[in-house]
Amino acid sequence: MQVKNRNEISNEFKWDLTTIYKSDEDFYKDLEKSKKLFDKLNSYKGKLFDSLDNLKTYLKTDEEIDLMLNKLITYGIRKHDQDTANSKYQAMSQELEQLLSLYDEKTSFFTPEVLDTDTKLIDKYLEDDYLKKYRRVFDNILRYKDHTLDKDKEELLSKLGIALNNDENTFSMLSNADLVFPNIKDEDGKDVELTEANVSKYWTSKNREVRKNAVLTLFDTYGKYANTFASTFVGHLNTNISLAKIRNYNSVRESSLFKDKIDTSVYDNLIDTVKSRSDVINNYYGLIKEEVGVDELHRYDTYATFGSAIEKEYSLDEAKSLIINTLSVLGEDYISKINRAFDEKWIDYLPNKGKRTGAYSSGGYGTNAFILTNFTGNYHDVSTLIHELGHSMHTTYSCEAQDIIYSNYPIFVAEVASTTNELLLAKYMLKNSKSKEEKLSILQQLLQLYASTMLRQTMFAEFERDAYKIREDEKPLTHEVLEDMYLKINKPYFGDNVILDDSLKYEWSRIPHFYYNFYVYKYATSLAASTYIAEHILEEDNYKEKYIKFLSSGSSIDPLDELKIVDVDLTKKEVINEAMNVFNSYIEEYKRIKNS
């Protein structure tokens, strides 16, 4: 099907951004108004705590700005993403980036002044009826007392913000724009250009020679630029290590986990527990070896397509019906919010020329939780839609239940609600499908989800941890060291059944998440939590009430405590082990159905 231009798609399939601003002119009015409000905030520099009225006015103004920024960002970035080739909205996106940088600059004095102020005076001000709600905000700021610089230094660092992200930008440009891959032969023996965008098509091929050439060509091409990628990555590490030292953290990992109050033991517990489950790892790759039908299973075989894909094509109405049937276990209120997303046009469904690829949910206090997707009608698209609806419901419940200052839930739990929805859909399909082939296809996707998340993301987490440790110990980190370390770390995550070709050592250099500062482990902890939650929603009476309470928590409590609402304790091995057990149960179910 030929991809249409944006103006050729019916409005019924587009999100309705006029619920935020009726026109671009209204957007720009708020943009200019926000800058004046930034100046108003900045006028309190040096006298924030001179009086109760000063502090109260500052915080009320900041709330007004927060609401305005939510609207500006939600509108401007959605406009950009619906047609990235539109120069008008390219400019709008850039103006938003500059606006946020200006906000950081104008308010950089706030935290240092809080930390320089006598806590007795702060406590006195927080007795005010309006300011009582800020107790948690100030407690969280005061946690940073040992990690915050004086006002001038904080302002200087805020001005350096864009420059300090340059290593990530360099990686992105090199990987996505400048890197050129050789041609390979496709299934028909034709020469095709290999790109990062199409490589997954070829490494999942049922033709072994195609997937071998795709994977090895990809990795070997990165290997030709090993020095550049290593220099860029090590530069990123060095910058973060310097910033951590400046802010008096023991390590970058500690600084990255500090905001969410996550002890490094949670991170290590994930790695140690997953690596200890060689029984599941060997069982999974033993199944892959059998399904792919090879005597020796190489790394390039592990993503091969096997079995039959779900050939059913879903209309949008069929997808909506399936989603509602799946999520009905969460109660009438949850379904009413799902219907709002459908009926009030929160969702931009169809691909168009220039539209951002992939899918996401984005919105916040004062806006709908909009969803971008590129729906073409296959089962994967239905799963993606229900996943993003999970994010949107999390946002909606949090914004309805919490004050604006606590309405954003922590990144640590951001993937839990979405993945829970995705798992509930798979379970619904397994229970209700009459087709053996369809069940096997769903199980295959579940197995790949657990392998790519519990195994692969945990492996990435170990590599990132160890790379930082080497530099923090002031040892050299050359591309050879990175390559040898990456190969060594891979081995336990692929077990006894997979041969790791030497070219695999270059794979680390193509992973953008290594520039996200200890983010990848959250994918694995979130899947573990979602696995537990999905199982108990279906098995335990009244568990959904706990789940809705979790969704409504926003940032009003710490993320580990939020998860304890639904009986998930990530400081212990049990939740991780249960996820690995469920992974293993899907392996066994696949074998049983295949052989039935």
Catalytic residues: 388
Q: How far is Cα 523 from Cα 525, in angstroms, rounded to an integer? A: 6
Strand residues in 287-346 grouped as ranges (E): 297-298
Partners of 297 in the beta sheet?
498
* Cβ–Cβ < 8 Å for 575, 534: no
Cβ atoms within 10 A of the Cβ of 187, count?
Answer: 12
Instruction: State how far the Cα of 214 lies from the Cα of 204, in Å rounded to an integer.
Output: 9
305-330 in b/e form (b: 16+ CB < 10 A) is: ebeeebeeebebeebbebbeebbebb
Residue 493 corresponds to which tokens in the numbers above?
A: 């995550």
Phi first, then psi, for residue 362 (nearest 5°) are -155, 135
490/505 Cα distance (integer angstroms): 9
Q: Are strands 360-362 and 370-372 parallel, antiparallel or unpaired?
A: antiparallel
Answer positive or negative: Cα dihedral of 98, 103, 109, 115: negative
Contacts of 540-545 with CB under 8 Å at 24 or more apart are 544/329, 544/330, 544/331, 544/334
Q: State the angle between helix axes of 416-432 and 316-327 in degrees (0 to 180), rounded to the nearest 10.
A: 100
The percent helix, strand, coil of the chain (3-state, each to 5) is 70, 5, 30
Q: In the structure encoding, which two tokens stand for residue 150, read together? A: 């004086």
Q: ∠ CA(444), CA(447), CA(453), 5° rounding?
A: 140
Q: What torsion do the CA atoms of 554, 556, 557, 560 make, to the nearest 10 degrees?
A: 10
Residue 437 contacts by C-beta under 8 Å, 6 or more apart in sequence? 307, 308
Cβ atoms < 10 Å from Cβ of 349: 20
Asked whether 119 and 129 are in contact (CB, 8 A), the reply is: no
The residue behind tokens 């924030």 is 48
**Torsion of the alpha carbons at 506, 512, 515 and 521, rounded to the nearest 10:** -90
Q: What is the CA radius of gyration of the chain?
A: 25
Residue 192 forms beta bridges with which residues?
184
Structure tokens, 450: 């657990």
Residue 391 Ramachandran class (φ > 0 left, ψ -120 to 50 alpha, else beta): alpha
Give the N- to C-terminal CA distance of the chain in Å, as an integer: 38
Q: Which pair of tokens denotes residue 347? A: 């969702």
